[in-house]
Amino acid sequence: MAARGGIESERAGMVGQLAPLIDLPSPDIERAITLQNESYLPHKRNLVAVLSRLAQLIALAADLQKDDQDGWWRTAGPDGRTPLERLRAGSIDDVCADLEERKAGPYDLVWDMNWPPEVASKRMQSRLESSVKPGDTLVAAVDGGRLKLRVLRLDDGSLSAEPIANTWVDPPFEEVAADTYRRLAQKYPDQVPPPG
């Protein structure tokens, strides 16, 4: 077998790190990488992005193993498939997002950072538990991250919630993905699609 170089060497190294953490054969992980990359439109395929997310998955898997929670990989989710089955099917992003949420911990409700203030106010009114009161602090899930919200009473008497400044917590190990992306994009710019 010919020696691999460049980004293929990076890929092989990451596969070698992940395989023992999740007890999945290397060829299955290789296939998952290919399937994840092929899930993008042809002109948007980005092996650097896939490998960056895989680096984050490695960090999350190592953390899960450290917490002696390896059984998670073989526990069926709402769709009836285990994380290992979903990973084999090329859902690296989805499995990574599930682990981010697990590591980030409990939350009271979901928040979308793209909501305009008036939309957020309306959506919060329908999502708040009846037991909350003005001044209460809630934890919101935001794509693996967490944000604290303060419950407030609106002029019409209804309750809503708004973000509390400086309470954002990044998704777990997001910096691993970001650092890997920067490093690989600089080394292998031909693996990153052009903007637009």
pLDDT 10s digits, 14-40:
999 999 999 899 999 999 999 999 998
- Give the pLDDT score at 164: 94
- Give the pLDDT score at 173: 96
Q: Is the pLDDT of residue 108 over 90?
A: yes
pLDDT 10s digits, 112-133:
888 887 888 788 888 888 899 9
Please state the rounded mean pLDDT for residues 166-174. Answer: 95
pTM: 0.85
Joined together, the tokens standing for residue 43 give 């002109």
Please state the rounded mean pLDDT for residues 87-96. Answer: 95
Burial of 40 (0-12, 13-18, 19+ CB in 10 A): middle
Q: Is the pLDDT of residue 70 over 80?
A: no
Give domain limits for the chain.
6-104+172-191, 109-163
CB 56 within 8 A of CB 173: yes
When pLDDT is cut at 50, 70 and 90, the band that residue 1 belongs to is very low
- Give the pLDDT score at 2: 37
- Give the pLDDT score at 5: 77
- Give the pLDDT score at 4: 58
- Give the pLDDT score at 68: 72
Residue with tokens 């170089």: 5
When pLDDT is cut at 50, 70 and 90, the band that residue 60 belongs to is very high
- What string of H, E and C letters represents the secondary structure of 7-27? HHHHHHHHHHHHHHHHCCCHH
